[in-house]
């Protein structure tokens, strides 16, 4: 009887310690949290299914109320919120869910779209090769290319708005500074904006 009681006390003490111990709690850098870097490597050659590319919830493309002084047709990126807005008349915008630069690769500024390309080729930059030495140095455009179906090149930078073959990364900080959308969304954006479009990149949304 004493042995059984002792075992019960030990189990109770262990349970209490596990509930208190910080290591036993959920990792705050959970990949489901859109405000932290998502630890995932690029997957050249992977072709997501139609179901994987179908976004739902807040990151699904939608018309939203959007108050701004920017003219209709302007692209506004709110990096912290993981949204790209295409300004429309009457305080509206088309909102797209995006993946943004990981910590140390985020930026802000006012630029213009200087080039557009369908099914762009992919040349991983040296910083990416250093992190992921297995990556190809060049990959022709097409399904499975990490650049996705379309690319809009941002003047004065090495960055682009482009598609992705990793739809699960939308809403996360994953890239080397580019903004990625699912292929259906980047194609929609591509068809709506001409070369010369103004793009405003903000680290935080307006209060």
Active site residues: 162, 178
Three-class SS of residue 115? strand
Residues 129 and 136: their CA atoms lie apart, in Å, by 8
Residues 87 and 59: their CA atoms lie apart, in Å, by 17
Any idea which residue has 């932290």 for tokens?
Answer: 36
Distances from the Cα of 132 to the Cαs of 42, 58, 139, in angstroms? 8, 31, 15
99 burial type by CB count under 10 A (0-12 exposed, 13-18 middle, 19+ buried)? buried
Residues 26 and 29: their CA atoms lie apart, in Å, by 9
């Amino acid at each position: 009887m004493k042995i059984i009681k002792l075992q019960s006390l030990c189990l109770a003490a262990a349970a209490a310690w596990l509930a208190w111990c910080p290591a036993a709690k959920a990792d705050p850098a959970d990949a489901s949290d859109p405000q932290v870097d998502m630890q995932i490597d690029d997957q050249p050659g992977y072709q997501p299914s139609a179901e994987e590319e179908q976004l739902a919830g807040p990151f699904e493309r939608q018309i939203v109320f959007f108050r701004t002084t920017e003219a209709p047709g302007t692209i506004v990126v709110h990096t912290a919120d993981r949204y790209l807005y295409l300004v429309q008349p009457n305080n509206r915008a088309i909102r797209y869910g995006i993946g943004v630069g990981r910590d140390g690769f985020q930026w802000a500024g006012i630029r213009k779209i200087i080039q557009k390309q369908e099914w762009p080729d992919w040349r991983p930059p040296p910083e990416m090769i250093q992190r992921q030495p297995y990556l190809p140095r060049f990959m022709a455009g097409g399904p499975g290319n990490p650049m996705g179906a379309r690319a809009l090149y941002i003047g004065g930078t090495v960055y682009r708005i482009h598609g992705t073959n990793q739809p699960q990364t939308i809403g996360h900080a994953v890239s080397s500074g580019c903004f990625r959308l699912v292929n259906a969304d980047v194609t929609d954006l591509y068809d709506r904006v001409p070369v010369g479009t103004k793009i405003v990149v903000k680290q935080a949304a307006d209060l």
